[in-house]
Amino acid sequence: MLAFALYVFLPAGMATTFSAVVGLGAVALTLAGVRRRPPSRRMAWWMFAAGLTMWVAGDTIYASEAIITGGHTYPSWADACYLAAYPMLVVALFRLARFRRRRELAGLIDTAMSATGFGLVYWVFVIGPIVREPGMSLLTRLVSAAYPTCGVLLFAVAGPLLVQQGRRSPATWMLTFGSAATLIGNVGYTVIPPDGGLKDRLVFGAFLFAYFAFAGAALHPSGNMPDSRPADMQGWQRITVLTATTLLVPAVLFVEARGGTEQVDIQAIAVGAVVLFLLMLIRLSGFFATVQRQSEQLERLAMRDDLTGLANRRLFEQYLSQALRDGLVQVAVLDLNGFKEVNDTFGHATGDQLLIVVADRLREVMRGDDVVARMGGDEFALLVREVSPTAMSAIAERISASLRRPVDANGQQLLVSASVGTAGNESGEVSSDEVLRRADWAMYAAKRAGGGRHLRYTAELDAQATVRARAGAELRTALEQGQFHLVYQPIVELPGGRIVSVEALVRWTHPERGFVSPAEFVPIAEETGLIIELGEWILRQACARAVSWFAEFGDVAPQRISVNVSARQLAEPGFAGLVGAVLTETGLRPEQLVVELTETAVFDGGQALRTVELLHKRGVRIALDDFGTGHSSLTLLQTVPVDVLKVDKSFVDKVTMAGRHAVIATALIQVSDGLGLQAVAEGVETAEQAEELYRLGYRLAQGYHFGRPVAQPDFTREFAA
Ligand code: C2E
Ligand code: MG
Ligand code: MG
């Protein structure tokens, strides 16, 4: 402030001298500031100081000229010094402001467009008059044009900082204002006609300001840090800037025409227009490329499974359709066994982890051009081109093998297996839907046959499926029309043969086919889910029957009734509740009901095991049916609360044979006794078997020898015998 006040009152001739002195001070301050800068930014400040030094040199020459000769030559060595400063200043400022620049091509083109537009205006209105000025030497013209140009360049480096968004530090502000002042000074220097004192005063006043601003920027602590990166220009802002630049050309023409300039600079305007047009073209193609890229990205996202990164069903179907058009294709569909249990027991995070590991294993096994997809849930699919069905079976085996290795998911060691179905187009043209359906069918058949298997689609599978579908529909009708009834087989005491209990067994009399074995229709009822309704009917029927016998026969009536319950029923969370309700309804006491289940139903744990535990706690007795035929009969005895072991017929059949055949029946009665359980020998057909079983220690038996399953066993007769 003081310096400016002094400056205004100085005699005109002293302005330059004053400027030189202030400039020297500014250089000193800048150098003092440099040492406080981080090393990465020092170089730029050194260069800045060097540029300012050139200005001071210019000022000194200019001032001494005025003192010695009382006037100025133009151009002179002073001008050479002034102009020599600009390369250094521009580079220094560029380095200091570098962090603010957007690097992407779009930003560069925007900048180029603005620069071209501005350059055109600048050329037509500033440089044009200088070039056309009559009676100037070439050197004079060049120097005259160089001043405003250098000013514009310097400002062009700092200027964009003004229009960008984001916070600006005081140091940045000072750099920007300094370069703005330089621009004003330079334009003034060439444009204002020499008129003695006023021109110098104005021009050097601007430079004085620039000295102060630059020195301030060099000293201010905020000059240490790059400014926070400004937000990019908003779409509409860009469009406004771009539109404004493209409208510049007609605007320039208009102004020139209105101003009545005798010599319109057609060439410059034409070149500017062409360059602007080309830049706009590049810019627009960039826009289109971006839109294209984004839509491709979106498409990719829509075609991938989020969790595993595998192709999803849509993408798989696309590949499959294409591959079917191209040639031989083999497809495998696989479904994890026990995935639901993993989810239920360990939670979804573990389930997800398991799916990711499975996806990785599939990727490992497959070749690069095969397609691996997650079709949803725990179902995956593979597509292999140009291989034979036999080769595809080998691949399916490899997959099964790789999935059998234990999986570490969220710290849990899990054993998984998959049911795999394969199908292909080797026997003729098929649609992609049909190939997938066939592979699906084969997979379901593999699952039905027991998990962890691979099956290939055959036409018979379809035939079976049709039979199944028909049977499913028929079962429903049968239930609605009362084609089911129950029969009861006695369970007797050894050696006397008194009936202590009965097992309820369901029968289906088909209106045309007659008797249908439960071994045939119970599995279908399980698959279709009809077993839930059928099972409820059986349970209610059997309990009610037992109660009616108590009323009718009193002491002679069987003390208990056994009801077979399938895996699907036990897995139903409401099953224990249903049993409770039926007991209350019918008036049967819990300990009078025996629920017979097979090992496979509770093998996986989960809901089925919880149901069994609940029933047991309420006093319902639990029997393990067909005991000894499963994989882990003995292990189950540790986890499942069991009251009764029904020793399978296959062991009973052998008790009368010599030597080692009777060993298992012997062992099982020892296990049963040891654990305090009741053992029932199933399928006893002869008196010899009954005798031998009794000798081994069996006290309960069931079989044709004691009575076939009938609508109503003769309790009194058996007792009398
Ligand atoms: P299971 O529960 O082991 O039933 C015993 C089966 O052995 C019955 O066959 C019975 O008739 C048969 N059996 C009894 N004594 C002898 C014998 O001395 N010799 C021979 N060869 N067989 C004998 P069934 O009634 O055909 O039932 C077969 C299977 O169907 C049952 O095996 C059971 O798993 C299932 N099942 C039967 N009724 C029902 C039911 O109401 N609900 C459910 N979920 N399953 C049932
Ligand atoms: Mg049974
Ligand atoms: Mg059995």
**What does the pLDDT look like over 292-306, one tens digit per residue?**
888 888 877 788 888
Distance CA 661, CA 654 (A): 6
The token duo for 340 is 């639901």
Reduced to 3 states (helix: H, G, I; strand: E, B; else coil), residue 402 is helix
Check residues 257 and 348 and name the one with the higher pLDDT: 348
pLDDT band at 720 (very low <50, low <70, confident <90, very high): very low
Residues 688 and 632 in one domain: yes
198 inside domain? yes
Domain span at residue 495?
A: 472-701
- CA of 542, closest atom in ligand 1: 41
CATH of the domain at 689: 3.20.20.450
Instruction: Evaluate whether residue 308 is within a structural domain.
Output: no
Nearest to 596 by CA among 557, 551, 561, 633: 561
Q: Please, are residues 417 and 403 in contact by the beta-carbon 8 Å criterion?
A: yes
One domain for residues 260 and 405: no
90: CATH:
1.20.1070
Is residue 297, in this structure, part of any structural domain at all? Answer: no
Which residues contact residue 130 at a Cβ distance below 8 angstroms, ignoring those fewer than 6 apart?
Answer: 136, 141, 144, 145, 190
Instruction: Indicate whether 421 and 531 sit together in one domain.
Output: no
> Which residue carries 């055949």 as its tokens?
661
Residues 410 and 485 in one domain: no
Q: What is the pTM of this model?
A: 0.50
User: Is 596 in the same domain as 553?
Assistant: yes
**Residue 99 shares a structural domain with residue 32:** yes
Evaluate whether residue 708 is within a structural domain.
no
- Of the listed ligands, the closest to the CA of 646 is 3
Q: Taking all residues of the chain, what is their mean pLDDT, rounded to a whole number?
A: 85
Most confident of 105-109, 186-190, 196-200, 547-551: 547-551
Rounded to an integer, the average pLDDT of 531-539 is 95
Q: What number does the ligand 1 atom closest to the CA of 535 have? A: 42
Domain presence at residue 630: yes
The DSSP line for 22-87 is: HHHHHHHHHHHHHTTS-HHHHHHHHHHHHHHHHHHHHHHHHHHHHHHHSS--SS-HHHHHHHHHHH
Tokens, residue 547: 């109660």
User: Does residue 331 sit within a domain?
Assistant: yes
Q: Which ligand is nearest to the CA of 596?
A: 2
Is 536's C-beta closer than 6 angstroms to any atom of ligand 1? no
Domain contains 401: yes
Does ligand 1 lie within 6 Å of residue 647's CB atom?
Answer: no
The closest residue, in CA terms, to atom 45 on ligand 1 is: 564
**Do both 644 and 675 map to the same domain?**
yes
Number of domains in the chain: 3
Q: How far is the CA of 403 from the centre of ligand 2 (A)?
A: 35
- Ligand 1 mutation target, pool 515, 564, 647, 680, most atoms within 8 A of CB: 564
pLDDT digits (tens, 9 = 90+) for 597-646: 988 777 677 888 999 999 999 999 999 999 988 776 788 888 899 999 99
Co-location of 140 and 271 in the same domain: yes
523 Cβ inside 6 Å of ligand 1: no
Q: Do 448 and 477 share a structural domain?
A: no
Report the alpha-carbon distance of residue 559 to residue 567 in Å, rounded: 26
Note whether 89 and 216 are same-domain residues: yes
Ligand 1 close to Cβ of residue 703 (< 6 A): yes
Give the domain-ending residue among 389, 424, 457: 457
From 253, 288, 323, the end of a domain falls on: 288
* Ligand 1 contacts CB of residue 517 (under 6 A): yes
Closest ligand to the CA of 491:
1
Average pLDDT over residues 445-456: 83
Q: Domain with 384 in it: what CATH number?
A: 3.30.70.270
Q: Which of 505, 506, 531, 710 to mutate to test the pocket of ligand 1 (most atoms within 8 A of CB)?
A: 505
Distance CA 164, CA 177 (A): 15
Nearest CA to ligand 1 atom 33: 564
- 497 within ligand 1 shell (Cβ under 6 A): no
The mean pLDDT value for 182-193 works out to: 80
Domain boundary at 273, 288, 303, which?
Answer: 288
Ligand 1, atom 12, residue with closest C-alpha = 683
* Distance in Å, CA 442 to ligand 1 centroid: 29
- Residues 386 and 426 both lie in one domain: yes
CA of 517 to the centre of ligand 1 (A): 9
- 146 and 19: one domain? yes
Q: Does the beta carbon of 564 lie inside 6 Å of ligand 1?
A: yes
For atom 42 of ligand 1, the residue with the nearest CA is 564
Q: Is 708 in the pocket of ligand 1 (CB under 6 A)?
A: no
To the nearest 10°, the Cα dihedral for 144, 146, 151, 157? Answer: 160
- Token pair 């001298």: residue: 17
Helical pair 138-158 and 77-97, crossing angle rounded to 10 deg: 20
Q: What percent of the chain has pLDDT over 90?
A: 37
User: Which ligand lies nearest the alpha carbon of 542?
Assistant: 1
Residue 652 lies in a domain: yes
